[in-house]
Amino acid sequence: MRNVAHYQDVLFPFLSVQAWNLWWLIQGANGGASFISDSTSLLGPITPRIIGFAMTFVAETLIALAMIRRPTRDRLLLGLTAATLVSFCLMTAMHERYAYGSLIFLAPLLARPAVRATWAILAVTVTCNIVAAAPPNQQPGSLIPLHGPVGTVGSIAMILATILVLVLLVREGSDQPGSARRSADTGYGPAFAGG
């Protein structure tokens, strides 16, 4: 806990640490290319960091409930992806690389067209964010600008991808009743649906 506190309070106490997310939009609108502290009081003890924690807690609880309601392999993968993206988009002090796990968790479901479209948005946005924040030639801004319109579009794309994953998680299997649903979850076909 001391390490986490040091990380948040001393090293990176900012709304966003080069992560294209909700807080990047707010930081860009209010600070331009400057970092804004996430521990600034907004109303009494309420700070952006506390708001981020609260939003993330509510969203992660709903994700967990969706996974528990009908636990399947596909729901687990969608839930892990959603949990990664919700944390990335709603918590403060996020780095660009923290969204990378979403690409891995979603990859086993690429046979589905809706997942492919979402994964493509994520793959392009996460890659651009990482290259903009830490370019291969170590010259910031030389390949993809981190700030400005590119960062705004990237942030909106990440938020959109997060919403799409949440929709996929909620809708997972809702169109398949009874044994057909179980069959689709296991991937074994109707002959094994009752087992």
Number of structural domains found in the chain: 1
Q: Between 193 and 147, where is the model more confident? A: 147
> What range does the domain containing 111 cover?
2-175
Q: What is the largest CA-CA distance in the chain?
A: 61
So what's the pLDDT on residue 21?
Answer: 96
Give domain status of residue 113, yes or no. yes
Going by C-beta distance under 8 Å and a sequence separation of 6 or more, which residues neighbour residue 113? Answer: none
So what's the pLDDT on residue 34?
Answer: 80
Residue 84 has pLDDT above 80, yes or no: yes
**What percentage of the chain reaches a pLDDT higher than 90?**
60
Give domain status of residue 17, yes or no. yes
Q: Between 193 and 143, where is the model more confident? A: 143
Q: Distance of CA 147 to CAs 27, 33, 124, 166, Å?
A: 10, 6, 17, 27
Query: What's at 10, amino acid-wise?
Result: V
Give domain status of residue 66, yes or no. yes
Give domain status of residue 191, yes or no. no
Where are the strands (E) in the chain, listed by range? 16-17, 94-95
pLDDT digits (tens, 9 = 90+) for 8-40: 655 567 899 999 999 999 998 886 778 888 888
Give domain status of residue 46, yes or no. yes
Q: Do residues 133 and 154 lie in contact, with contact meaning Cβ atoms separated by under 8 Å?
A: no
Give domain status of residue 183, yes or no. no
Average pLDDT, stretch 50-77? 95
